[in-house]
Structure 1
Amino acid sequence: MTFSAAALSTDRATRRRLPLVPAQRGMLQGHLTDPASPAWGVALLTELVGQVDDAVLAECLRRVSLEMPSLRLRFDVSTEPATQHVADLTDDVVVTTPLGAADDEAAAARHLAARLAAEPWDVPGGGPLARHTLLVGRTGVWWVQRALHAVVDGYGAWLVRNRVVEHYNHLVSGTELPDRAYPSVEELVAQPRRSEDDQRDFWREYLQGAPERVSPADRAHHVVARPHRHDVVLPSSVRVGLGATLGNRVWTYPLIAAGAAYVARVSEEDSAVVGVPVLGRDTAIDRATTVNMMHVLPLRVPVEPDDDLASLTRRVVDSARSTRPHQQTPTETIFEAVPSAWRAGRLHGPTINVMPYDDDPVIPGVTVTTQALQRGPVYDLLLTIHPLADGSLAVECEAHREIYTLAQTRWHAERFATFVTRLAGATAPLAEVDHRLLQEIEAADELARPRTARVPDDAAPGATWGDVVSAEQLTVPGLDASVPRGYEIRDALGRTTGFTQVGELVAHTASGTVATGQLAALLPDGRVVAHGPVEGRRQVYGRHVEADGVAHDVALLDGVESCTATWEGRRLSLTVTLTPGASEADVARAAKQTAPSGTRPVVHLSALV
């Protein structure tokens, strides 16, 4: 593999202004929209425990920063479109900081690393956009590697880390330094790419007929920093079982298939459209650069009723192969090709990020462990899976904090791990494998236990939206309170729901099943949250919208005494009673803004009498 002489002249800056590759444009634009947010950066913490020469390590970082021109990129955002160029290496790219007299050096280092990862990037200021901090302690060194995502993606960070270790082993132990060459940015951007028209046509056909509902979340929100996170470890036996799915020891595709099946199930669909990060590196030049080439592309995976993990894995492989020639399609191009995705504001649901290349490098006499502090923006759920040294698989579940609660993040992480564990090595149809947690199954069984109602069914109206009641307080129209009944909450696929998942409440009696006409969700303590009548829920742009839920939110606005909501065709009709002195224009505007996108709200105002 050879690159031009310009690529090897890494001691000179390249002042020529160059265009950005498509994946860079999206990440840079995201950062410019919210410059203070660390969500648009990448940060790794590599812990090196043992006898580490921090001065040599710092020298290695400088050498690699010279070797890889892309690590010295700067962006000029004063022009439209933005451009990039390579700058000289500056002294502040590598900083060494003593940890001091910390009792727990590892904890102190992680705390400082988290603070560094949250520092904003000053793109217009022209400073370095890839930095390294060495936190030096008595027992080792903690290396904080961070960069703007447009300059370094996850693969690029791995490339840098491993090259630094190669240099360190060469200088300290005398091992041979592998001969590697890294391309110039000119060579990177000069490569021919597929036409956007061809890409647009492919994605329009590929996503034709895909479900609009691609996520269990019924809200959308712009990217924010510091997502919720819950980690789980899958034992090595699960990795072995996944590798046995197709008899080839490959565990990655079966894991993606299991993730797609999980997403389809919790989204209440018979097909999944998951996000799958792809390297986007088609050429040798691409594979030798750190800049963000990665895309999160939609992967469409139909789930058939008689599928087992093997058949679904084959479908995943075929689907992924069909997208491979189109991995560098700009996100905006796909949105243009799929109007329904544009209306919904998302191309896919949760992202399944499988990182089989994430093994830690080796330094003789030193324990090397790397963890991600910041992988980039989280739009929904992000499930990152990578192997550990003992053969197990680490699952990092990150969730958008404005869409999911911390408890829901934990449940999704543990449900996914439970589902994968039950599937690994099994030959049973997917439909027969329960994805719910043991405590969810036990809580559902308790809800289904026959009991009588505490009050006569005609004594009072049923629970209103948001009310939390016990099973004994539930009522069923037309069913005598003395008749023993158990309850079940079913999703749109007819499966029993997990915690906080909204579904239709049905009653089971000795004579059969009775529909209640109500929506509800089960809580971990066995109580039930009311979500209004079944006919009050509609799917709008892939999200479930409950009329009573919107009315509840509008009723909390300033100037609103009360609110009711009903569907009139495809429009959501809001009847709002104002408090004395409230501005009709302000309340009407706020009510329309509160209603979810696509509900086409109509607001009727009346004064409090």
Structure 2
Amino acid sequence: MTDAPSTSLPLLAAQLGVWVAQQLEPESLVFHVSQFADIAGPVDADVFERALGRVLVEAEALRVRVVERGGEVRQELVSGFDWSLIRVDVSGADDPEDGARAWMREEMRRPFDLAGGGRLFTWALLKLSDERFFWYQRCHHIVLDGYSCSLVARRVAEVYTALVGGVPCPQVSFRPLGRLVEQDRDYRDSPQHERDRAHWSAQPLTEVEPLLLSGRSAPAADFPLRQSAYLDKGAVDAVCAAAGLGPAGWTGAVLALSSAYFARLGGRDTVTVELPVTSRVTAVHRSTPGMLSNILPLTVPVPPGATITDVLAHVSASVRHLLLRQRYRQEDLHAGLGHAGGQYAFGPMVNILSFDHRLDFAGHPASAHPLTNGPVPDLALTIAPDTHPDRLRVDLHANPALYTHDDLTNHLTRLQHFARNLAIDPEQTIARVELMDSAERAQVLEEWNDTGRDLPGGTLPALFEEQVARTPDAVAVVFEGEELSYREVNEQANQLARLLIEQGAGPERFVAVALPRCAELVVALLAVLKTGAAYVPIDPDYPADRIAYILNDANPMCVITLGSNGVEAQPGTARILLDDPATRRALHA
């Protein structure tokens, strides 16, 4: 790479968001974009490298290095690169495709030196046979987004085709990167930016918890899990027709279907999904590679009684309004809502890729296959046209800390079943559409409920004492470094049971147990059962009036608690304090 930059530019707002996120997680690989083109035909590697070199000169975003000087982060456009195409031949492998995919997986683990000003892209040509090649592309998200990768790929195919045919290359439509920077600055200084800020600030996005179908959250992993399937295009077209739309309305239909599916699965009347948008609203935006993509929340009502055509009508109107305000940055939106730095998910992501991913290299067709496209905190659903006209491709990415491959397979199977059922009768209420197919329904209703087991007779205290006889010194309870053997638990429970019996505990009586999670809690519950009484569990962190209500309603003959809890018994009700020295001596006598 040459050391003399010809141009220095500030970062785009989207680039700055990626820069900050990468600084928060400097070792993370989630801010990489990678894909490959599967070329069905021979490729002249030398000509292909010439085509790439020409496009590298044309696409200024690929020739930047990011530098930080004097507290300011900028991008410097470098006039040239010490660059060459990586060539990999796996045609001799037993399974060339598996070998190619293994090579790509390993290459994706190499971090880009973002802070060191290094090259921020990798291109490789993998030969699987004389008639099949993979063109592998990876870059840091700070230089290109998914739309830009498509722009670059189409231009490479165009230039390669011209070079092979020996004809002049069509004129490039790429504009200078500085034009993107100018338009980005103009927008952020404009009244439109303030109107967009007011719009997003008025959205009730903090009133509902994000829909996390796993029930928990976790930081995004470097490499999400991935499963793929297909939706029947005919089923999607049937939904479009019922809503009075032609086949071109498939983008809104799959967004409505996905949103309705997530709402049903989460048991919600309203669901918020994350919608990736290009943020490209001008001719310069649409023709210039760079990082502009954005992710914004789309709230979709799915009330009781709603049909898929109702949801589609709402989605179509809402998306139109959202696209008018798509340039307002997600980072600004999160900051306005008080979300801390890092990755925050409003809900599952639904990414609709409506632009054409088909390529042609000198008469040989190629299909694009995305590998990674930024962070996946939870679930990300990507839907795009397939090379087969009768179906849509569905890629489901998931955080491996939250989901398994089986989870992804089940989601995709349910979504296919859900779409087919709605296509049969688009006017049926969504709430009545069966989510499970016959196999999953049998598993849930029959296999999982086949819980018949031979159970031992006797009471719980008797069974516990049998275990004490078998393994008296085995560890029974562990809490914050404290361990109690079966013998110790049994002896302490027996002593506490005697104290309770002295207070009048026995069958048909209640004993309140107001203890935090601790080893003594296990002892206390067992002791109550040994007396023949029933225990009333009380969380000592409940409000005082809530505790008083429970005690008044249950009318226990005794309350087991700690003096430090501040739980008071009703007048005339005994109270045993486990942290009282006298009680401790009695339990350990």
Q: Report which of the two structures shows the higher radius of gyration computed on alpha carbons.
A: 2
Select between 388-397 and 321-330 the one with higher mean Cα deviation: 321-330
Q: CA deviation at 1:569?
A: 4.8
Alignment of 1:122-271 (within 5 A): 122-139=113-130, 140-174=132-166, 177-191=169-183, 192-194=186-188, 197-207=194-204, 210-246=207-243, 247-249=245-247, 250-271=249-270
Residue 37 of structure 2 contacts residue 136 of structure 2 at CA under 8 Å; is this kept in 1?
yes
Residue 359 of structure 2 contacts residue 365 of structure 2 at CA under 8 Å; is this kept in 1?
no
Alignment of 1:384-395 (within 5 A): 384-391=382-389, 392-395=391-394
Amino acid of the structure 2 residue aligned with 1:305: P
For the residue of structure 1 that corresponds to 2:18, the secondary structure is helix
Number of residues of Structure 1 aligned to a counterpart in Structure 2: 470
Q: CA deviation at 1:565?
A: 9.7
Q: CA deviation at 1:362?
A: 2.2
Q: CA deviation at 1:153?
A: 0.9
Separation of aligned partners in 2, 1:33 and 1:208: 25
Is 2:420 the counterpart of 1:429?
A: no
Give the TM-score normalised by structure 2. 0.72
Separation of aligned partners in 2, 1:452 and 1:95: 61
Separation of aligned partners in 2, 1:407 and 1:346: 25
Residue 551 of structure 1 contacts residue 565 of structure 1 at CA under 8 Å; is this kept in 2?
no
Is 2:90 the counterpart of 1:67?
A: no
Select between 376-385 and 402-411 the one with higher mean Cα deviation: 402-411
Deviations along 1:38-74, whole A, 9 cap, x unmatched?
Answer: 3210111112232211111111111111111111121
From 81, 94, 109, the counterpart of 1:103: 94
For the residue of structure 2 that corresponds to 1:441, the secondary structure is helix
Separation of aligned partners in 2, 1:346 and 1:304: 26
Deviations along 1:10-50, whole A, 9 cap, x unmatched?
Answer: x9975443222222222222333334333210111112232
**Residue of structure 1 in register with 2:348 after alignment:** 350
Amino acid of the structure 2 residue aligned with 1:415: R
Amino acid of the structure 1 residue aligned with 2:187: R
Residue 89 of structure 2 contacts residue 127 of structure 2 at CA under 8 Å; is this kept in 1?
yes
Separation of aligned partners in 2, 1:37 and 1:565: 44
**Residue of structure 1 in register with 2:21 after alignment:** 30
**Residue of structure 2 in register with 1:585 after alignment:** none
Deviations along 1:456-513, whole A, 9 cap, x unmatched?
Answer: 999559xxxxxxxxxxxxxxxxxxxxxxxxxxxxxxxxxxxxxxxxxxxxxxxxxxxx
Unaligned regions of 5+ residues in structure 2, if any? 462-514, 523-536, 545-577
Alignment of 1:356-371 (within 5 A): 356-371=354-369
Is 2:49 the counterpart of 1:58?
A: yes
Q: CA deviation at 1:104?
A: 2.7
**Residue of structure 1 in register with 2:476 after alignment:** none
For the residue of structure 2 that corresponds to 1:89, the secondary structure is coil
Residue 174 of structure 2 contacts residue 289 of structure 2 at CA under 8 Å; is this kept in 1?
no
Separation of aligned partners in 2, 1:343 and 1:180: 39
**Residue of structure 1 in register with 2:303 after alignment:** 304
State, as a whole percentage, how many aligned pairs show the same letter.
27
Summarize the Cα distance change of 1:237–1:119 in structure 2 as closer, same or farther, 3 Å threshold.
same
Residue 177 of structure 2 contacts residue 290 of structure 2 at CA under 8 Å; is this kept in 1?
no
Is 2:285 the counterpart of 1:294?
A: no
Q: CA deviation at 1:354?
A: 1.1
Residue 37 of structure 2 contacts residue 135 of structure 2 at CA under 8 Å; is this kept in 1?
yes
Separation of aligned partners in 1, 2:543 and 2:81: 59
Q: CA deviation at 1:394?
A: 1.2
Is 2:541 the counterpart of 1:568?
A: yes
Give the TM-score normalised by structure 1. 0.70
**Residue of structure 1 in register with 2:401 after alignment:** 402
Select between 29-38 and 325-334 the one with higher mean Cα deviation: 29-38
Separation of aligned partners in 2, 1:406 and 1:397: 10
From 375, 378, 381, the counterpart of 1:377: 375
Summarize the Cα distance change of 1:447–1:24 in structure 2 as closer, same or farther, 3 Å threshold.
same
Residue 162 of structure 2 contacts residue 362 of structure 2 at CA under 8 Å; is this kept in 1?
no
Q: CA RMSD for the aligned pairs? A: 3.5
Residue 353 of structure 1 contacts residue 385 of structure 1 at CA under 8 Å; is this kept in 2?
yes
Q: CA deviation at 1:178?
A: 3.4
Residue 264 of structure 2 contacts residue 431 of structure 2 at CA under 8 Å; is this kept in 1?
no
Separation of aligned partners in 2, 1:347 and 1:275: 8
Select between 345-354 and 450-459 the one with higher mean Cα deviation: 450-459
Unaligned regions of 5+ residues in structure 1, if any? 1-10, 462-546, 556-563, 572-603
Separation of aligned partners in 2, 1:58 and 1:454: 71
| Larger proportion of helix | 2
